[in-house]
Every structure is written in structure tokens, then in C-alpha cells.
């Protein structure tokens, strides 16, 4: 978190870092699951399975195409080229 602060040219206080660490601890996140982050149907969206391709269970074809368009636009000036098709 300090390296991220350095990159962003910010100096978070030790208290803020301790608070972030505490709130990001898996036990605290498990306790909050389903209480703060819900989709429009009331389902918890805080956690993902982390499986390759699982986005297909969440994104519609239209959402995926829109996301790909944004990513192409945002990365067009990078030397690294990304393949958006699977």
C-alpha cells in the first residue's frame, strides 16, 4: 500500500494504512459479505470465484462488446497490444 501511495504521489498516514489493512482482512470482508455490495436483484457482488472465463456468467454479450470497445480505446496508445477475443 505504501508503494501504491508512492506511485500516486500520496503519503497515507500510518493510521489510514492500518485501517485499510484491517478492513481488507479476509475475516472482516467475510463478515461484511452481503451487507454492503448488492446487485439490482439484491445478490451480493463483493466476491468473485476468480475463475478464468467466469465473466461470461455476469456480462451480457452487449456489455462485453462495450467493455472491449472501452479497453481498445483506453489502450490504443500502448506499445503492448491486447487480444480481446477468447
Give pLDDT, residue 14.
Answer: 92
CA-closest candidate to residue 29, choices 44, 50, 12: 44
Is the pTM above the cut of 0.85?
Answer: no
Note whether 20 and 40 are same-domain residues. yes
Task: Give me the average pLDDT of each 10-residue run along the chain (86 residues).
Answer: 89 92 84 69 69 83 90 86 68
Give residue 33's domain range.
Answer: 1-47
Both 62 and 32 in a single domain? no
* Cα gap 8→2, rounded to integer Å: 10
Amino acid at each position: 500500500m505504501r508503494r501504491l501511495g508512492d506511485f500516486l504521489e500520496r503519503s497515507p498516514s500510518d493510521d489510514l494504512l492500518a485501517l485499510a489493512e484491517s478492513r481488507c482482512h479476509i475475516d472482516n470482508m467475510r463478515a461484511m459479505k452481503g451487507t454492503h455490495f448488492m446487485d439490482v436483484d439484491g445478490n451480493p457482488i463483493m466476491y468473485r470465484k476468480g475463475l478464468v472465463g467466469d465473466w461470461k456468467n455476469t456480462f451480457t454479450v452487449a456489455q462485453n462488446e462495450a467493455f472491449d470497445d472501452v479497453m481498445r480505446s483506453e489502450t490504443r496508445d500502448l506499445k503492448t497490444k491486447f487480444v480481446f477475443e477468447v
